[in-house]
Amino acid sequence: MPAIDLRSDTVTRPTPAMREAMARAEVGDDVYREDPTVNALEEQVAALCGKEAALFVPSGTLSNQIALILHTRRGDEVIIGEGAHCAWYESGAGAALAGVQFAVAGRGGLFSAAEMKAACKPEAYYYPRTSLVVLENTHNRSGGRCWPPALVDEVTRAARAAGLALHLDGARLWNASEAQNRTPAELCTPFDTVSVCFSKGLGAPVGSALLGPLPLIREALRLRKMLGGGMRQVGMLAAAAIYALNHHRTRLGEDHRNARAFAEIVAQAPGVVLDPLGVETNIVNVQVPTLDAQQVVLEALKSGVLLNATSPHTLRAVFHLDVSAEQAREAATRLASAIAQLEGGA
């Protein structure tokens, strides 16, 4: 039976039309800033997100790390939500490259202004200096949760009042935009810098962008080179990102509906803790309190469903353009059967 890959929305393959756009791309040396397709992408995504400038980078990790370096000094502390990508999935780069430590505010990836203030260190020479607040929208580990606009406004206003810089890890900003019917620019407005990704929900093979005011992005260009992210004739990858922006943003609602349909079926499996109404975008967290999540992953694999275990009792399923509505329902049925089989043997 054909495998259905729900491990991440990074597993997509370029569509034939995207490949054609890549093949036709005009290229130049981007380290010399002479790649016209990269320049066009940067102009387009900056305008779309309401920022002055953008820088194309190979990965969201690099984009986030450049932002950390831009906004902090070594030894500073950065306030993040629980389970933030920059603390969990970037190989310790915050400490190794930016030289910062993280303070967690709130629970479940989101936090209030009061929780942010509580996480700030007092001003004293023996405390780390709190200098930056990072929000992640949508929030990966909490199941693709969107930050409510009122909460963003509350937190960002409090950060400004406290003299703190603001960075948005918007790797799945496009999903938040679709789910909340708000423009990317509206979601990006309160932040000094924003990272957006082209290789997750949009389905491009490579790339992210760091957005912000021109002076910061000029410094980001230097840091990109320093960190090994300078690229040469990379217009082919930029062309894929442009194609994704123009053709794949409007279909993200399909992924959200498929995630909800999947959740409705899996929620009926024995022992599963899952509220389908809590599925906001394209990520579904499936709680299996009485089972080993990794064992469920292996059992599901036997029936051709690929998932990730994100904690001892949590599975994650991510929906993307390579998964149809029919496949979403089929994957749910197969997973529910695998769980029921393991529960029966428990």
What CATH number is attached to the domain comprising 28?
Answer: 3.40.640.10
Q: How far apart are CA 342 and CA 339, in angstroms?
A: 5
164 in the same domain as 286: no
70 contact partners, CB below 8 Å, separation of at least 6:
193, 216, 219, 220, 223
At CA 225, angle to CA 221 and CA 231, rounded to 5? 95
User: Can you read off the two tokens belonging to residue 17?
Assistant: 């039309």
* Domain total in the chain: 2
DSSP state of 249: G
Domain assignment present for residue 11? The answer is no
161 contact partners, CB below 8 Å, separation of at least 6:
none
Domain assignment present for residue 225? The answer is yes
Q: How far is CA 190 from the centre of its chain?
A: 18
169 contact partners, CB below 8 Å, separation of at least 6:
60, 64, 84, 85, 86, 134, 135, 136, 137, 195
Can you give the residue range of the structural domain that contains 67?
A: 16-247
116 in the same domain as 35: yes
Domain assignment present for residue 82? The answer is yes
152 in the same domain as 75: yes
User: Can you read off the two tokens belonging to residue 74?
Assistant: 């070594």
234 in the same domain as 267: no
Domain assignment present for residue 88? The answer is yes
| The last residue of a domain, from among 217, 247, 277 | 247
- pLDDT value of position 19: 98
Domain assignment present for residue 2? The answer is no
- pLDDT value of position 345: 63
| The last residue of a domain, from among 213, 232, 247 | 247
337 in the same domain as 305: yes
- pLDDT value of position 344: 80
- pLDDT value of position 155: 98
| The last residue of a domain, from among 247, 262, 292 | 247
Q: How far apart are CA 267 and CA 46, in angstroms?
A: 40
In this structure, what CATH number is given to the domain that contains residue 293? 3.90.1150.10
Domain assignment present for residue 5? The answer is no
What pTM was estimated for this model as a whole? 0.96
272 in the same domain as 134: no
182 in the same domain as 76: yes
What pLDDT tens digit does each residue of the chain (346 aa) get?
689 999 999 999 999 999 999 999 999 999 999 999 999 999 999 999 999 999 999 999 999 999 999 999 999 999 999 999 999 999 999 999 999 999 999 999 999 999 999 999 999 999 999 999 999 999 999 999 999 999 999 999 999 999 999 999 999 999 999 999 999 999 999 999 999 999 999 999 999 999 999 999 999 999 999 999 999 999 999 999 999 999 999 999 999 999 999 999 999 999 999 999 999 999 999 999 999 999 999 999 999 999 999 999 999 999 999 999 999 999 999 999 999 999 886 5
Domain assignment present for residue 90? The answer is yes
335 in the same domain as 276: yes
195 in the same domain as 335: no
Per the DSSP assignment, residues forming a β-bridge with 101 are 77
146 in the same domain as 277: no
The string of DSSP letters for 51-120 reads -SEEEEES-HHHHHHHHHHHH--TT-EEEEETT-HHHHSSTTHIIIII--EEEEESBTTB--HHHHHHHS
- pLDDT value of position 1: 60
198 in the same domain as 51: yes
Domain assignment present for residue 7? The answer is no
129's torsion region: left (phi>0), alpha (psi -120 to 50) or beta? beta
206 in the same domain as 277: no
